[in-house]
Amino acid sequence: MCGRLNITDDPFVIEILEELGIANPRENMHFGRFKKAADNISIVHEENGQRQLSSATWWLLLDPKPGQGFRPSKYTSFNSRYDKLHVKGSAAYRPFHYSRCIIVVKGFGETLFTKGKPQHYYDFIAPDGALCLGGLYKVWHHPDNGQKHYSCSVITLPAHPKLRRYHDKASPLILPPSPAELNAWLDSTQHNGGGFTHLLIPHLYQRLVALQIDKPSSYNPLGEVAYIAKDPPRNRQ
């Protein structure tokens, strides 16, 4: 699972946002080194044919609060599993086919659990760039006042072999840094989810730094930095 995000005001983050067509991204970005589930984060998406940066609750399923506002549903949905994307009736099915988004981050965090309790925390950072995480989003309208609100999730894949020593459950979907692939992912007219099957295999397109920390809120390093090499280029099947 991917339970926290590092979205710092980093030049590489800004560069990717601008390349995705977002003008003056610093004006509306939700920056923060420790973004946790149910926080507001920034997503890049297309709506009515227009590319935009929007604030979204990092929890795909929401419930309206009386009067105004929304709260996270009791159903855990900050991540969407890859094996649910093609399952009709699942929470992820329609968003995967009709409302995909990109979450641009500097890195992400994982927790190693033992018997259901957190034992070790690890942060992963892209030292040579930023990461485009594949996400899903939903648009909500409050039944009382029509207030519009966005929610989102990060798609998770099986754990990448190079990351299993840190977290063996899952890895976030990291999209390839290819304009054609990113534009196709955001294309709101492309409803054939089968066209993205090749992306649902874990792959590291750039090297990562792995660092054990005491806890996400204080971010005190434990031990030395480890470098995880990027994977060789792969051909689209």
CATH number, domain containing residue 162: 3.90.1680.10
| The pLDDT of residue 234 | 80
pLDDT at 1 over 70: no
Mean pLDDT of the chain: 94
Residue 126, domain member (yes or no): no
Q: Tell me the per-residue pLDDT of 173-232, one tens digit each, with 9 for 90 and over.
A: 999 999 999 999 999 999 988 899 999 999 999 999 999 999 998 999 998 999 999 999
Residue 83, domain member (yes or no): yes
Q: Which residue range is the domain that position 186 belongs to? A: 4-106+131-201
Residue 98, domain member (yes or no): yes
Q: Which long-range contacts (CB under 8 A, 24 or more apart) does 198-203 make?
A: 198/236, 198/237, 199/134, 199/173, 199/175, 200/82, 200/85, 200/155, 200/157, 200/173, 201/157, 202/157, 202/158, 202/159, 202/160, 202/161, 202/163, 202/171, 202/174, 203/160, 203/174, 203/176, 203/231, 203/234
Q: How many domains does the chain have?
A: 1
| DSSP secondary structure of the chain | ---EEEE---HHHHHHHHHTT-SSGGGT---EEEEETTSEEEEEEEETTEEEEEEEES-S-EEEPSSS-EEE-SS--SEEEGGGTT-TTSTTHHHHHH-EEEEEESEEEEEEEETTEEEEEEEEE-TTS-EEEEEEEEEEE-TTT--EEEEEEEEEESPPGGGTTT-SS-EE-BPPS-HHHHHHHH-TT---GGGGGGGSS---SS-EEEEEES-TTT--EEEEEEEEPPPPP----
Residue with tokens 């420790």: 34
| The pLDDT of residue 115 | 78
Residue 125, domain member (yes or no): no
| The pLDDT of residue 114 | 79
Q: Tell me the per-residue pLDDT of 89-103, one tens digit each, with 9 for 90 and over.
A: 999 999 999 999 999
Residue 229, domain member (yes or no): no
